[in-house]
């Protein structure tokens, strides 16, 4: 069949698939396009050459013409020169062109099949370089297409790119094709669209992350259903392709930096280099996480982003004068000196050891290029979000005149729309609150604020909270029929106790004592909790001293204690002690810790809190316990309708909350402002 060329002529194409299947493959390598492009870093003047019927300049080996035979209605034909469609044709032609230009390759000329580019730093040198290349082509009887050649240009089209002194861009032809691309209606059309963009994905920041809704539709086990998310991804990719950046070309021996980042589903990076005192991007890179990689914790995902970028840009990393890697994950700064590593991190550490670089922490808002990987504003720092929202409201005057961010005037229950999400975030994400659930978050907010649709907005925010999804687990269904425990009648008369064990050693910053367990004590009446650092080697005597100091000294002797059958709770010393002070011991059913459901739930809440706020080495949990305890005791209890702190003290605790004052202080604020005006 005949296929039209760009110039309107026809090209004869023959189906040689059967012949190609039994042909011994020529493994002569084709050049890497990125490596060819990087040869142009210092070039200012270009000439692009295109050979006329390049394949047809190579003869078929004598006696082998019959292998190219084909027939048509006009008869039987055999090629005497190399046709298109043969599996070894590209390798054979590349070997020829390399031999023709070998003396000059990568000095002032590069070639990819029949596309040849001559490049120079000055016009005078360029004239001589072009003459040299033309003489070499003439010597081997290789002819050019004058209409497709461009001589002595500052910008030329080469291999689908626009190459110039300023760098590399996508060609206008490709941009127009993408601009006119219709919305896909089938899986095949999605595959065609993604395949076309894949060639230019290096120009599209976060390509892999953006394309996830589209790639999901190409799976065999997913029925094709065009969704709003897929439509947004399609339009975002089109827009990014229509307005691509201009990449500078990598220069060996110059400083280089990578900006890396990871989201829940993908990783990405931006490579930049210093040109004329400014940092310019030279390439983007992104890819989806594999199934197992999606389950990595945040630290390992961010570290994998660094490893992947180093592997992808290995040539750049090895040939630059200085490499700096910027990340928005602070714990990675000291990774190269960390002594405690898991097996995966050990493998990565060995790979990173091959390179010389330094890691620099930069907040996400400053790590702009890489941080666009699905970064949700609602998980950013609380103070940053609130301050930004307030500044935005103040600019349009909706809050009236204010002198400081802390002096905000709310009118009635009208919390501005711009501040509602910031308020929700502060009362959910702040360590002093510890990521409570929907009901408890609403109770915290209602102490100071009211606004329409609060429940829907709080529910939406919490169901999207990445930390809650990763660190909190669904509670189990009831385990058979259980007999209810006797209800307590007064504070701290009936308590429950349990241990959380198997923790990494953490030292008390005040005493430097190391702990590896937590003793949890719960007042069954008010639900107040005490989180006490503990050690696995403590005896029942140690336990008795702790209970006397932390519980009895403040609340008196309890009437009963519920616990599991830990060896300390069943020891002779502990049994004798409880009998002596008149405390009834209630042990849970063997191998059934759910008997004490209150303590089990408290333990889950505490563990979730620590998982969210603990450092990567998990060695600072002792210093977090007081805040975790306060966060739990300040959460609304569904069984009592009060917070444990309020049930014990008759008031809410005074806590440091940033930026946003209570609506209930409105009248006093107005009064103080009026007094200032009258003086």
Q: CA-CA-CA-CA torsion for 215, 217, 220, 223, nearest 10 degrees?
A: 170
For domain 172-242, which architecture applies?
A: 2-Layer Sandwich (3.30)
- Which positions ≥6 away from 126 have C-beta within 8 Å? 45, 47, 118, 119, 120, 152
- Return phi, psi of residue 156, to 5°: -140, 160
Q: What sign has the CA pseudo-torsion 444, 447, 448, 450?
A: positive
Fold classified for 494-649: Nucleotidyltransferase; domain 5 (3.30.420)
0.85 cut: is pTM over it?
no
Helix axes 417-429, 438-446, angle to 10 degrees: 120
> Smallest Cα–Cα separation from 299: which of 288, 307, 291, 311?
307
In this prediction, residue 522 carries a pLDDT of 92
pLDDT averaged per 10 residues, the chain (length 679): 71 84 88 83 89 85 90 88 87 91 91 91 92 92 87 86 82 81 87 80 80 85 83 87 78 87 86 82 85 86 91 85 88 77 81 85 61 38 42 42 36 61 81 78 81 85 75 51 67 91 88 91 91 92 92 92 88 90 81 56 76 73 88 84 88 69 44 44
Asked whether this chain's domains 2-164 and 172-242 adopt the same fold, the reply is yes
The domain segmentation of the chain, as residue ranges, is 2-164, 172-242, 255-371, 377-472+658-663, 494-649
Architecture of the domain made up of 377-472+658-663: Orthogonal Bundle (1.10)
**Beta-carbon contacts of residue 411 (< 8 Å; ≥ 6 apart):** 666
Among 145, 75, 86, CA closest to 116: 145
**Residue 307 confidence (pLDDT):** 92
How high is the pLDDT of residue 676? 44
What's the topology of domain 2-164? Answer: Alpha-Beta Plaits (3.30.70)
CATH architecture of the domain with range 255-371: 2-Layer Sandwich (3.30)
The β-bridge partners of 274 are: 279
Reduced 3-state DSSP string for 151-216: EEECEEEECCEEEECCEEEECHHHHHHHHCCCCCCCHHHHHHHHHHHHCCHHHCCCHHHHCHHHHH
Q: What's the distance, Cα to Cα, between the start and end of the chain in Å?
A: 95
Residue 616 pLDDT: 64
């Amino acid at each position: 069949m005949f296929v039209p060329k760009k110039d309107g002529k026809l090209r004869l194409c023959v189906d040689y698939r059967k012949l190609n299947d039994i042909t011994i493959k020529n493994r002569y390598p084709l050049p890497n396009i990125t490596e060819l492009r990087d040869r142009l870093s210092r070039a200012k003047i270009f000439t692009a050459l295109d050979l006329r019927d390049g394949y047809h300049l190579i003869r078929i080996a004598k006696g082998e013409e019959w292998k190219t035979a084909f027939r048509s209605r006009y008869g039987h034909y055999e090629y005497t020169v190399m046709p298109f469609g043969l599996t070894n044709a590209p390798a054979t032609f590349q070997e020829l062109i390399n031999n023709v230009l070998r003396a000059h390759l990568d000095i002032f000329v590069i070639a990819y099949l029949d596309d040849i580019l001559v490049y120079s730093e000055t016009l005078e040198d360029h004239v001589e370089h072009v003459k040299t290349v033309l003489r070499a082509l003439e010597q081997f009887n290789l002819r050019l297409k004058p209409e497709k050649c461009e001589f002595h240009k500052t910008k030329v089209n080469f291999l689908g790119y626009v190459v110039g002194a300023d760098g590399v861009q996508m060609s206008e032809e490709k941009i127009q094709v993408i601009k006119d691309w219709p919305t896909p209606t089938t899986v095949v059309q999605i595959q065609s669209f993604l395949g076309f963009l894949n060639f230019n994905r290096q120009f599209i920041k976060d390509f892999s992350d953006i394309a996830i809704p589209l790639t999901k539709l190409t799976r065999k086990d997913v029925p094709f259903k065009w969704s709003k998310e897929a439509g947004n991804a399609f339009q975002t990719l089109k827009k990014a392709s229509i307005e691509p950046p201009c990449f500078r070309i990598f220069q060996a021996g110059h400083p280089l930096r990578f900006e890396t980042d990871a989201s829940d589903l993908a990783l990405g990076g931006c490579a930049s280099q210093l040109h004329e005192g400014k940092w310019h991007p030279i390439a983007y890179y992104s890819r989806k996480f594999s199934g197992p990689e999606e389950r990595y914790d945040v630290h390992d995902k961010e570290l994998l982003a660094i490893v992947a970028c180093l592997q992808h840009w290995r040539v750049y990393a090895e040939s630059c004068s200085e490499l700096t890697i910027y990340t928005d994950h602070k714990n990675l700064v000291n990774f190269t000196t960390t002594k405690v590593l898991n097996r995966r991190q050990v493998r990565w550490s060995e790979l990173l050891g091959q390179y010389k670089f330094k890691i620099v922490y930069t907040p996400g808002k400053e790590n702009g290029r890489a941080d666009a990987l699905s970064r949700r504003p609602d998980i950013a720092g609380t103070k940053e979000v609130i301050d930004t929202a307030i500044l935005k409201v103040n600019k349009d005057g909706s809050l009236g005149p204010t002198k400081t961010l802390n002096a905000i005037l709310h009118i009635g229950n009208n919390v501005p729309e711009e501040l509602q999400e910031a308020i929700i975030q502060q009362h959910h994400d702040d360590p002093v609150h510890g990521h409570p659930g929907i009901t408890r978050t609403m109770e915290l907010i209602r102490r100071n604020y009211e606004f329409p649709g609060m429940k829907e907005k709080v529910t939406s925010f919490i169901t999207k909270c990445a930390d809650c999804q990763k660190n909190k687990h669904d509670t189990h269904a009831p385990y058979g029929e259980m007999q209810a425990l006797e209800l307590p009648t007064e504070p701290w008369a009936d308590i429950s106790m349990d241990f959380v064990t198997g923790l990494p050693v953490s030292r008390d910053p005040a005493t430097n004592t190391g702990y590896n367990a937590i003793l949890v004590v719960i007042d069954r009446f008010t639900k107040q909790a005490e989180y006490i650092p503990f050690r696995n080697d403590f005896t029942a005597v140690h336990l008795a001293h702790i209970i006397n100091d932390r519980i009895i000294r403040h609340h008196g002797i309890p009437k009963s204690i519920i616990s599991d059958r830990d060896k300390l709770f069943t020891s002779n010393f502990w049994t004798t002690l409880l009998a002596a002070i008149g405390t009834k011991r209630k042990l849970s059913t063997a191998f059934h810790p759910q008997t004490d459901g209150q303590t089990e739930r408290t333990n889950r809440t505490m563990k979730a809190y620590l998982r969210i706020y603990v450092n990567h080495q998990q060695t600072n949990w002792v210093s977090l316990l007081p805040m975790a305890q306060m966060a739990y005791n300040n959460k609304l209890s569904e069984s009592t309708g009060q917070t444990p702190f309020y049930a014990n003290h008759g008031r809410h605790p005074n806590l440091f909350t940033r930026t946003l004052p209570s609506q209930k202080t409105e009248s006093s604020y107005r009064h103080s402002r009026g007094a200032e005006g009258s003086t």
